[in-house]
């Protein structure tokens, strides 16, 4: 009884008393309210799962009770009681959120059935909300692990832009987690209820990429034996993630630009255009400003995609996060494989902290998974890590030179100012001519 609360509302005290006596036999905690005004007070002070209210009452009617119920933190399901003459009004009210209606005179067994359905619906909705919260936590920003300053700043930037509709360009080396971040942006955005559609532009042959993105009609080309919806249309209401966009052919870049400008897409071989409602997130491990300069990437498309550029740091730039990520991967992999492994020993930790991780987080995940599979003890050792499959030990001790660091910094500044050399030179404290000379060397 404690978990199921019901409010019965009618300006006829005999009716509320009769319904209360009957519904209390249904293992329900019943509260009665005589009239709409008393119902509003009850809804303000208490939480209910279901409300049964008369439609026509003096001063405040059932529609106002329905509206007040909808404003509650956990909106209850509302059942309207109505005479036959107001049945059309009751049906209209259902379009505005009422769960069900009862036509007077009704049998008590009908009331019981309607109330059970309402309680079941309320329970299912609450469960769906709980599961959605769990999914959002699993797929959202909580999945981006990092205690380092650079990673905290990156997550803060992601959190700040997720609510917007602006296009986001994720920059970073392979394996830095660009798709994971794209998913987190989707789940933290107002479009979380829509689909998240991802496509790797480098993995789809050029001859198929246009059809994959824009769709095609039957007979549009040899082998098109049926109509196919493109990924732009499939992502309607949600987010389309274009990974490795720097590998997109120039011809398709021009068509992508047109789609982004007009927000419409026309399938290959079709005559009708489809209006688009989606958010675009793109990613690349390439230096797009240099590609723009070389004519390998359209400048207008670059600026369209990089409304908000976000750079994801390499794992070597965030050494504080290496063991945090490793331990997380260990827990997940050990649980999935059913192995009782509690952590890493000192030899494994020392090697992992010194390793440069050229493959970034993806490499770390693979190393840990292999170690869990091969391990025989309760703790992962250096031998379990299979270090013979990674870079040689000389490279482990290598540190970037000053020239390496300077080149990386110049590239980062150029990305942040979208290739504007005058602005970049001002930030770097050098002349434009000096920047142009060094830019050619990068």
pLDDT tens figures, 422-437: 888 888 888 888 877 7
Average pLDDT over residues 82-103: 77
Backbone phi and psi for residue 167, each to the nearest 5 degrees, phi listed first: -70, 140
88 or 97: whose pLDDT is higher? 97
Task: Provide the CA 306 distance to its chain's centre, in angstroms.
Answer: 20
Q: At what angle do helices 346-354 and 360-374 cross, to 10 degrees?
A: 160
CATH code for residues 402-441: 1.10.10
Q: Give this prediction's pTM.
A: 0.61
In sequence order, which ranges of 221-345 are alpha helices (DSSP H)?
231-234, 250-262, 288-293, 299-305, 322-337
Instruction: Give the tokens for residue 4.
Output: 């199921």
CATH number among 1.10.287.3510, 1.10.8.60, 3.40.50.300, 1.10.2020.10, domain 316-396: 1.10.8.60
pLDDT for 392: 45
pLDDT tens figures, 136-162: 554 557 778 899 999 999 999 998 998
pLDDT tens figures, 181-238: 999 999 888 898 899 999 999 888 887 888 889 888 887 777 777 888 889 989 999 9
Q: At what angle do helices 421-428 and 432-441 cross, to 10 degrees?
A: 100
At the fourth CATH level, the homologous superfamily of domain 5-135 is: Response regulator (3.40.50.2300)
Which pLDDT band holds residue 401 (cuts at 50, 70, 90)?
A: low
Instruction: Give the CA distances from residue 322 to residues 138, 230, 354, 370, in Å, rounded to whole numbers and listed in that order.
Output: 20, 39, 10, 17
* pLDDT-above-90 percentage for the chain: 50
Fold matches, 5-135 and 145-313: yes
pLDDT for 438: 66
**Which of 404, 405, 368, 373 minimizes the C-alpha distance to 387?**
368
Per-domain boundaries in the chain? 5-135, 145-313, 316-396, 402-441
Task: Kindly report the average pLDDT of the chain as a whole number.
Answer: 86
CATH code for residues 145-313: 3.40.50.300
Q: Quick check: 351 pLDDT over 50?
A: yes
pLDDT for 123: 85
Q: In this structure, what is the dihedral angle of CA atoms 319, 323, 329, 331, given to the nearest 10 degrees?
A: -160
* pLDDT-above-70 percentage for the chain: 90
Which pLDDT band holds residue 269 (cuts at 50, 70, 90)?
A: confident
Average pLDDT over residues 366-395: 78
pLDDT for 265: 87
67 exposed, middle or buried (CB, 10 Å; 0-12, 13-18, 19+)? middle
Instruction: Give the tokens for residue 17.
Output: 């008393």
Average pLDDT over residues 66-74: 89
Of all helices (H) and strands (E), which one includes residue 79? Answer: strand 77-83
pLDDT tens figures, 232-256: 989 999 999 999 999 999 999 999 9
In sequence order, which ranges of 140-266 are alpha helices (DSSP H)?
149-162, 178-187, 206-214, 231-234, 250-262
**Which of 370, 364, 247, 350 minimizes the C-alpha distance to 314?**
364
Beta bridge partners of 434: none
Which pLDDT band holds residue 413 (cuts at 50, 70, 90)?
A: confident
C-alpha dihedral sign at 405, 411, 413, 415: negative
pLDDT for 86: 65
Average pLDDT over residues 314-330: 95
Answer whether 294's CB lies under 8 Å from 440's CB: no
């Amino acid at each position: 009884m404690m978990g199921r609360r019901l409010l019965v509302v009618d300006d006829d005290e005999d009716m509320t008393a009769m319904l209360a006596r009957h519904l209390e036999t249904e293992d329900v905690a019943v509260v009665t309210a005589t009239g709409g005004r008393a119902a509003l007070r009850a809804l303000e002070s208490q939480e209910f799962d279901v409300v049964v209210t008369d439609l026509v009452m003096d001063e405040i009617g059932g529609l106002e009770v329905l509206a007040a119920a909808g404003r509650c933190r956990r909106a209850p399901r509302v059942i309207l009681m109505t005479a036959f003459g107001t049945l059309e009004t009751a049906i209209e009210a259902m379009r505005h959120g009422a769960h069900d209606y009862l036509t007077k005179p009704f049998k008590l067994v009908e009331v019981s059935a309607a109330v059970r359905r309402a309680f079941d619906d309320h329970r299912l909705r609450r469960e769906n909300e709980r599961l959605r919260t769990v999914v959002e936590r699993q797929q959202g920003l909580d999945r981006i692990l990092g205690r380092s300053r650079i990673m905290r700043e990156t997550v803060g930037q992601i959190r700040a832009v997720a609510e917007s509709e602006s296009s986001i360009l994720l920059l970073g080396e392979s394996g830095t987690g660009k798709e994971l971040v794209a998913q987190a942006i989707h789940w933290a955005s107002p479009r979380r209820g829509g689909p998240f559609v991802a496509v790797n532009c480098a993995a789809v042959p050029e001859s198929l990429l246009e059809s994959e993105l824009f769709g095609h009609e039957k007979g549009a080309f040899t082998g098109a034996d049926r109509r196919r919806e493109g990924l732009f249309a499939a992502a309607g209401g949600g987010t389309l993630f274009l990974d490795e966009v720097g590998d997109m052919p120039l011809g398709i870049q021009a068509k992508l630009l047109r789609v982004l400008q007009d927000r419409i897409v026309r399938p290959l071989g079709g005559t009708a255009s489809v209006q688009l409602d989606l958010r675009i997130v793109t990613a690349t491990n390439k230096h797009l400003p240099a590609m723009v300069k070389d004519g390998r990437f359209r400048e207008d498309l670059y600026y369209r995609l990089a409304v908000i550029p976000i750079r994801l740091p390499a794992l070597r730039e965030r050494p504080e996060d290496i063991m945090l990520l490793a331990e997380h991967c260990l827990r997940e992999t050990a649980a999935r494989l059913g192995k009782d492994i509690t952590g890493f020993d000192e030899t494994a930790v020392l090697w992992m902290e010194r390793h440069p991780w050229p493959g970034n987080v993806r490499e770390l995940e693979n190393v840990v998974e292999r170690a869990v599979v091969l391990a025989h003890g309760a703790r992962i050792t250096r031998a379990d890590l299979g270090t013979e499959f990674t870079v040689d030990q000389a490279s482990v001790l290598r540190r970037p030179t000053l020239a390496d660091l300077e080149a990386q910094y110049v590239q980062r500044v150029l990305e942040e100012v979208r290739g504007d050399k005058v602005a970049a030179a001002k930030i770097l404290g050098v002349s434009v001519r000096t920047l142009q000379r060094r830019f050619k060397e990068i």
